[in-house]
Structure 1
């Protein structure tokens, strides 16, 4: 019927977001449910014109996430927490993604590449759930003497980038195999991944320097600065798609590097830009989660329910074990190690941003869409289960084990 456009969708999402927050649950759960109710598995009331734009809107939301991460990724903080942040950024996600790749094949009936895509979708931590809690703990000076909130926030940010990059690479392999069915996995592309990361970082840093010179010479308003940054980041992603298969280049890392460079060289300029992006994220988050809910096929979700939960549970167990292994010798207490472990549970933002991409890629390549629907269904299932569980556990454990570093704050 197409009765509901963007305005109606935003109003319903805002109301549901507020209701769920009052109930002590992440508002993004309510946004997902609004999308499911209005989408193909529900009442089917969403305007097809809005659905046609869903891919571009989700890409914009992903760019906003990357820029916010870059503008909050202080290199001095990374130096403070040392090599531990690099271990937490790579090992838990790699272990969980590899485990899901193995178990999703027999449990969900996926092929090896499809299972790897699922693993890359699920393995990321949610900045929408993790970052606000870590910022609150930093403000309250809980665990900051050992830089625990900073460690979690930095590691989670790098974790997201690593997962998104691997997911983009696997999607490229899927498209290549669709065009050449007999083609084997091009391991040369895997070997070129470090070069792609370096080229992406160099391109982002170069654009950042040019942007700084433009800002300092012409002094545009902050709103214009933000619009230019968003446009440049979107162009970097388009460049990645345009030269795919020719030159290893990672536009996602370029967008991240753009934000990092602005923060490091001109923090006084980066702060108002980050504030504006936070305001844009309010809109982008509403659109992102509702449109992901719209594309969920409840029949597929229902049929993959128990098997999907088993895949998620096995992946989380191995992730938690990997986190604890990374914290060995850290000097953290048992309670502090438990906090870092449960803080790595929530999944939401990245799963919403990239969960539907395999389905869209399969449809565009003329492949059977069944595996893509399973990937999206399990991605949504991961949000519905781990986001509220992880948010509740993280807050509970933080209040129990992370005492204020200042005794006067504790006395209050």
Structure 2
């Protein structure tokens, strides 16, 4: 029985599907489920934007709790299933003109007002009374804003076919009005030391701009006529004004030459924009008259500033005459040497591999320029600071190469800030109550005589320079506006006289400043009008009859024009006709720069009987 009893079948060793493991015991209820209220069904579509979906671990695997977070979008959409409150809508008419919250121009205005209020609050909490009416900071702020508004208003004055008036006139007039209106004068007060410091900073900035603006290539290639125009009229006007002011106004010789060199400089702020407008319209471009005047203007200013600083050092020096002369030479030599040393230093530091090289170079140029202007006065050589600034900026720009343009842009931004302060402060120095009619009349007479001599001598300087009579007259008339340099160096002598607390020297300094302001008021608008009116009438505008209308440049036109030009040349050669016009055209095209040498030539030839033909060339230059 036991043998015949069937034994249970042994399991087949072949692999087979393994049975499912027994489920793990359920974990204990988690307190987290009691704290989080899950929506019905626990579906994602029923969750609000502020809720999160938590997947609680219910088995041994996975070991990490999963969590899904839903962020609030930038413009949340109201879910009708969860939020039935209607959105708040502003009045349509009010929302059209004043959106809520404000945007665009209104938001920008509110932001600027808020920034200004915060800035005023911070400064007031530090300086207290200086920010209140009658304080220096309050007066400087009001003067800056008024000068800025005055410059904008004058810039909006546009006459047809005339260059715009220089904004500096509005800045100067605003400063003059703030000083001479009785009610405003009491609230807008600026200490003369604050005023002198701000003007000296502006002087350092404009000297740095002048040094960076010098082109070494143009300096090496200057022709004799440019040197004559830059140096001759400046020196002649300075000497004439010195002699006239000595005998008419009773100034000492050294102060007469200070006034002469103040008046001897031409203003780039008036000449350069006017010349650019004429150059854009094509007047005088054929003979390079705008380029000549713009290039000579910088050297004219440098010569006038150098002479002014030398005479200024002699005027405030103590000792014998020979010592003062030697002192002037030493100031020029010392300023040049210091400028060369500092210029070569900032050529290489910071190096080109550093970050923010442009900002570092701009800071060094401006910082060293301001240090040179102020430090030279502290060292007892006030005439060397301006020359040092010019030399160091020029040499630094030479070493920077093309990167100099970016530094010039930063310096121009700084000048945009200090320009309203400079002209506004100069206008505020003139008080009608302290002016004498005799001084004003003699100053205007000295100015007009010096201008007449300058115009006549400019005509002499451009003789045998290849210009006709009309062009010579235009150069002489355009070479007289005064503004920026007179504003920068005019008050310097008065500031130094106030430092000495000498009433006689202060009187001389006030006379120099008065004539400088009169020269700006008379010659700046008159010069801009003369250049705008006489330029189109006295200068020649080339009429290029050989060329047709300009065509829009594109690559296909270039290749079509090149192919057409080759076809015309082969056609002319095949007929055995010597076309002089073709050779003149091709030779002229080779001499143009690449941007204008690329041209399109559309040619059509009509053959007539007996071998004759008519060749028509239509040249479109771009």
TM-score, scaled to structure 1? 0.88
**CA separation in 2, counterparts of 1:321 and 1:377?**
25
**1:65–1:324 Cα change, 3 Å:** same
Pair 1:2 & 2:142 matched: no
Moved more, 251-260 or 367-376: 251-260
**CA separation in 2, counterparts of 1:196 and 1:31?**
35
- Post-superposition, which runs of at least 4 consecutive aligned residues in structure 1 deviate over 6 A? 408-412
**CA separation in 2, counterparts of 1:297 and 1:185?**
37
Query: Which residue of the other structure, out of 174, 177, 187, is the alignment partner of 1:37?
Result: 177
**CA separation in 2, counterparts of 1:267 and 1:341?**
34
**CA separation in 1, counterparts of 2:416 and 2:299?**
22
Query: Which residue of the other structure, out of 346, 366, 369, is the alignment partner of 1:230?
Result: 366
Is this contact kept in 1: 2:346–2:364, CA < 8 A?
no
Name which structure has the greater RCO, CA cutoff 8 Å, separation 6+: 1
Is this contact kept in 1: 2:205–2:370, CA < 8 A?
no
List runs of 5+ in structure 1 lacking aligned partners: none
**CA separation in 2, counterparts of 1:215 and 1:50?**
41
**1:301–1:21 Cα change, 3 Å:** farther
Is this contact kept in 2: 1:26–1:388, CA < 8 A?
yes
**Number of equivalent positions:** 405
**CA separation in 1, counterparts of 2:323 and 2:242?**
16
> How far off is 1:10 after superposition?
2.2
Where does 1:11-160 land on structure 2 (aligned, <5 Å)?
Answer: 11-24=145-158, 25-39=165-179, 43-45=184-186, 47-49=188-190, 51-160=192-301
Pair 1:217 & 2:353 matched: yes
Aligned partner of 2:421 in structure 1 is 287
Pair 1:195 & 2:352 matched: no
As a proportion of its length, which structure holds more helix?
A: 1
> How far off is 1:169 after superposition?
1.6
**CA separation in 2, counterparts of 1:91 and 1:349?**
20
Is this contact kept in 1: 2:335–2:384, CA < 8 A?
yes
Is this contact kept in 2: 1:95–1:322, CA < 8 A?
yes
Q: Over alpha carbons, which structure has the higher Rg?
A: 2
As a proportion of its length, which structure holds more strand?
A: 2
**1:35–1:231 Cα change, 3 Å:** same
Is this contact kept in 2: 1:100–1:119, CA < 8 A?
yes
List runs of 5+ in structure 2 lacking aligned partners: 1-132, 159-164, 551-622
Aligned partner of 2:507 in structure 1 is 370
* Superposition RMSD in Å: 2.8
Aligned partner of 1:273 in structure 2 is 407
**1:111–1:291 Cα change, 3 Å:** same
Is this contact kept in 2: 1:41–1:297, CA < 8 A?
no
Where does 1:381-392 land on structure 2 (aligned, <5 Å)?
Answer: 381-392=518-529
Give the 3-state SS of the residue equivalent to 1:304 in structure 2: helix
**1:388–1:200 Cα change, 3 Å:** farther
| CA displacement, residues 91-143 of structure 1 (integer Å, 9 cap, x when unaligned) | 21111111111111222122222222211211111121112223334445543
| CA displacement, residues 290-349 of structure 1 (integer Å, 9 cap, x when unaligned) | 000111132326442221111000100111122111111111122222222122111111
Where does 1:313-324 land on structure 2 (aligned, <5 Å)?
Answer: 313-324=448-459
> How far off is 1:183 after superposition?
5.7
**CA separation in 1, counterparts of 2:282 and 2:363?**
34
**CA separation in 1, counterparts of 2:189 and 2:327?**
37
TM-score, scaled to structure 2? 0.60
Aligned partner of 1:205 in structure 2 is 343
Pair 1:399 & 2:536 matched: yes
**CA separation in 2, counterparts of 1:229 and 1:377?**
32
**CA separation in 1, counterparts of 2:392 and 2:281?**
30
**CA separation in 2, counterparts of 1:400 and 1:52?**
48
> How far off is 1:376 after superposition?
1.0
> How far off is 1:392 after superposition?
1.0
**CA separation in 1, counterparts of 2:548 and 2:192?**
50
Aligned partner of 1:337 in structure 2 is 472
**CA separation in 2, counterparts of 1:322 and 1:273?**
37
**CA separation in 2, counterparts of 1:282 and 1:50?**
23
